Amino acid sequence: MTNYCFGSDNHSPIHPTILNYLQEVNTGSMKAYGYDPITVEAELEFKKAFGDKTEVFFVFNGTGANILAIRSFLQPFNAVICADTAHINCDECGAPEFINGVKLLYLPNENGKLTIENIETRLHDRGDEHHNDPALVSITQSTELGTVYTLEELKELTEFCHSRNLKVHMDGARIANGAVSLGCSLKEMTTDCGIDVLSFGGTKNGLMMAEAVVFLNTPAPKWIRHLRKQNMQLMSKMRYISAQFLPYFRDGIWKQNALHANNMATLLSDSLKAIGVEVTRPTQSNAVFCKIPKDLKAKILPHYFFYTWDEDEDEVRLMCSFVTTKQEIDGLIDFLR
């Protein structure tokens, strides 16, 4: 039977504490659409985690969070600057173009990280009516390639962007893995670094389905609730999204899960190197990229499923999650050996 543990961190189940907590809130009638006491509690947890000015709006999935974040600040004549490897560019079936109407100015990059030099190449001729005006830079932390921006890099980048009248969005689908990698708090890596708006991801780190758009250093637009509703991201029985965040923050599940996933990735990366497999990207969070020849891959896939990253280069991606075990890593290594 195929084991899907390395396929993606969203192949994982829900952390038991989270699902148990849904039982606790499953009592009686409550107002819908986020006007219930559970959601109010969850909003307070976000303020605790990210600072007092924080405003949070829950949505269904990561695409929903990214699209709403973009829509909060941009009009269709604007452009988003991002890495060409960004999830908003590669894996949302063009929702930014279709829903937001904006242009993505996607840039070649090294290991998923944008640099100031790179961004600068797209800041010519601003104000010309023939060109989308860049208004937002979107970065991913940890990146789609498993790397992590340092706090220093984040601060320099947001400072530069703000000086050029660009907001900064962080796609935090794996924000917990990023923070754990840096050994800092969520706030230190976001609010304190000048991030304007964050897509906060919980689904890949032990939640069922719980994402949020979080405004940190720039207030949410006045009509944010209308934008969310029109974007089809307003849940009626909201308490079942918001409740997931209560144990997630209060019991430190976010950190514990991410730490486990990152540690497993490090172990996997080291084990691969030890048997001579070429690891192609720095292993800084819960993703490991390495080279596996096609014939070997064909033999392993029925046992351990994973995605090919670059067909031509034989590069594959192995993700770890909060449920990845040492046994699974050993099992995979055995096959590779």
Q: Which stretch binds its own copies (CB under 8 A): 48-56, 102-110, 141-149, 251-259?
A: 102-110
Q: Which of 17, 19, 184, 185 binds its own copies (CB under 8 A)?
A: 19
Q: Is position 327 an interface residue for its own copies (rule: CB under 8 A)?
A: no
Q: Which of 56, 103, 141, 154 binds its own copies (CB under 8 A)?
A: 103
Q: Is position 228 an interface residue for its own copies (rule: CB under 8 A)?
A: yes
Site string for its own copies, 23-42 (x = CB under 8 A): x--xxxxxxxx---------
- Kind and range of the H or E run holding 308: strand 307-310
Q: Is position 17 an interface residue for its own copies (rule: CB under 8 A)?
A: no
Q: Which of 53, 237, 250, 303 binds its own copies (CB under 8 A)?
A: 237
Parallel/antiparallel/unpaired status of strands 103-107 and 133-140: unpaired
Q: Which amino acid is at 296?
A: L
51 phi and psi angles, rounded to 5 deg = 115, 160
Site string for its own copies, 266-285 (x = CB under 8 A): --------------------
8 A C-beta contact, residue 319 and residue 254: no
**At closest approach, how far in Å is the CB of 187 from its own copies?**
26
- The residues in 148-207 that bind its own copies, with binding defined as CB under 8 A, are 203-204
- The residues in 39-68 that bind its own copies, with binding defined as CB under 8 A, are 60-64, 67
- C-alpha 288/C-alpha 263 separation (Å) is 11
- Kind and range of the H or E run holding 290: strand 287-291
Q: Which stretch binds its own copies (CB under 8 A): 39-47, 122-130, 252-260, 266-274?
A: 122-130
Q: Which of 12, 85, 140, 142 binds its own copies (CB under 8 A)?
A: 12
- What sign results for the dihedral spanned by CA atoms 157, 163, 166, 172? positive
Query: Which residues have a Cβ under 8 Å from the Cβ of 16 and sit 6 or more positions away?
Result: none
Parallel/antiparallel/unpaired status of strands 211-215 and 197-201: antiparallel
